[in-house]
Amino acid sequence: MTDLPEIHGDCPARFGAVKDAFAANFTDAPEGLNELAAGYSACIDGETVVDLRAGWADSARSRAFAADSGTPVFWTGKAVMATLIALCIERGLLDYERPVACYWPAFGAAGKAAITVGQLMSHQAGLPGFDEAVEPSIWFDRTAVLERLCAQAPMWEPGTASGYHPITIGYLAGELFRLVDGRTMGTALREEFPGLDLWIGLPEGEHGRVAQMRKPAAAPYLGEIDAIRRSAFLDKGSAPGGRGSSEWRMMEIPSANLHGTARDLAQLMTVMATGRFKDREVLSEATLAAARRERIHGQDRVLPFEMGWAAGWTMNAGLDIFGPNAGALGHYGWGGSCAWADPQARLSAAYVMTRQSPHLIGDPRAVRLQQAVYAAL
């Protein structure tokens, strides 16, 4: 047991159990993963109904975890990335069923000509990492990364299995978006969803309000290690390195370095729950159906789970990591953060924290909050 810090934010009596669960994560979290700082927010029909935060933004406890404390959410940013790709589908700039090479001819080399946009977004392209060792600093050279991936052959037959692309998907989807839209994803996020404190590429002037992360005490379980999993997670160059954290924050890596708040992640995910953002329609029913549709289900070649993928989001069916409804979908980030949408309940929600756990998906602290919010519906 630890002392409970003061909880700030809004939580009407109807959702009192959510606040209780949030508090319990600080004092009696599953597996001893007591929070250091965390935020949780939920929206129904686009209206924020719960918005909670507590804790300290640094290990010295000199800065409170405030409403504007930015948190790196790592892989959870893929939920935002996928929403931006869906926006291109809505506008006719992309089609999930057309080959990526139709928009980006260089991508079609080395046996990748038939890979569709939908297959790329559902981690079926066979490019979870580099097929030979590279220096970790390569990730700071976008052109070098893209040239290597375009020249690389898939590690399995595309379309036959999913294999989670932890970082590469951000470069691939980001370049595809740039080619058809003309903007980077970071720029488009700010322009399409003004007012949200979400950043793909965080300006240096904003770094002072970023909360300090505490890495997991143990490595995640990856299953039997083979060449595919090694390229995705364990090779020397499988993740950015060799530069300072400031340069990493400023890079635009849509798959891995989004910074933001739970409130604004939940607001963004209302697009996938309802098709709308605030007072405007963003995605039509036809686009939502195509984006939400499960595109593959089975044993993932990288993550140690049998799972389904929509066009960039993890499907809830069979995993039960986003509440009780099979049609919910979302994304977890390294260490426990998550954002998800449930079209049936017209609910969107997000969880951020600074104490990371070894869970790749389904962090028990987030699941506890999900269970509480659904119990209140």
Could you give the CA distance from residue 228 to residue 123 in angstroms, rounded to a whole number? Answer: 13
40 - beta bridge partners? Answer: 52, 351
- Residue 3: its pLDDT value, please? 81
3-state secondary structure of 306: strand
For 39-98, how does the pLDDT look when each residue is reduced to its tens digit (9 = 90+)? 999 999 999 999 999 999 999 999 999 999 999 999 999 999 999 999 999 999 999 999
Widest Cα–Cα separation across the chain = 58
CB 55 within 8 A of CB 37: yes
CB 288 within 8 A of CB 344: no
3-state secondary structure of 181: helix
Of all residues in the chain, the percent with pLDDT exceeding 90 is 98
Bridge-based pairing of strands 329-332 and 314-315 is antiparallel
229-232-235-237 Cα dihedral, nearest 10 degrees: 170
Could you give the CA distance from residue 111 to residue 158 in angstroms, rounded to a whole number? Answer: 9
Could you give the CA distance from residue 230 to residue 48 in angstroms, rounded to a whole number? Answer: 41
Residue range 104-133: mean pLDDT, rounded: 98
**Angle, vertex CA 82, rays to CA 316 and CA 132, nearest 5:** 95
3-state secondary structure of 43: strand
For 134-145, how does the pLDDT look when each residue is reduced to its tens digit (9 = 90+)? 999 999 999 999
Question: How many other CB atoms sit within 10 Å of the CB of residue 231?
Answer: 24
Scanning the structure block, which residue is given the tokens 């504007």?
68
For 13-34, how does the pLDDT look when each residue is reduced to its tens digit (9 = 90+)? 999 999 999 999 999 999 999 9
Comparing CA positions, the residue from 310, 315, 319, 318 lying closest to residue 328 is 315
For 160-179, how does the pLDDT look when each residue is reduced to its tens digit (9 = 90+)? 999 999 999 999 999 999 99
Comparing CA positions, the residue from 267, 316, 268, 318 lying closest to residue 292 is 316
CA distances from 334 to 149, 169, 257 (A): 23, 15, 11
Asked whether the predicted pLDDT for residue 1 surpasses 60, the reply is no
**Counting beta carbons within 10 angstroms of the beta carbon of residue 212, is it exposed (0 to 12), middle (13 to 18) or buried (19 or more)?**
middle
Asked whether the predicted pLDDT for residue 2 surpasses 70, the reply is no
Chain mean pLDDT for the chain: 97
Q: Which helix (H) or strand (E) holds 289?
A: helix 285-292
For 256-297, how does the pLDDT look when each residue is reduced to its tens digit (9 = 90+)? 999 999 999 999 999 999 999 999 999 999 999 999 999 999
CA distances from 147 to 130, 166, 199 (A): 11, 18, 25
56-339-96-289 Cα dihedral, nearest 10 degrees: -160
Region of 361 (left: φ > 0; alpha: ψ -120 to 50; beta: rest) is: beta
Bridge-based pairing of strands 258-260 and 37-44 is unpaired
- Report the side by side order of strands in the sheet with 71-74: 71-74, 258-260, 198-200
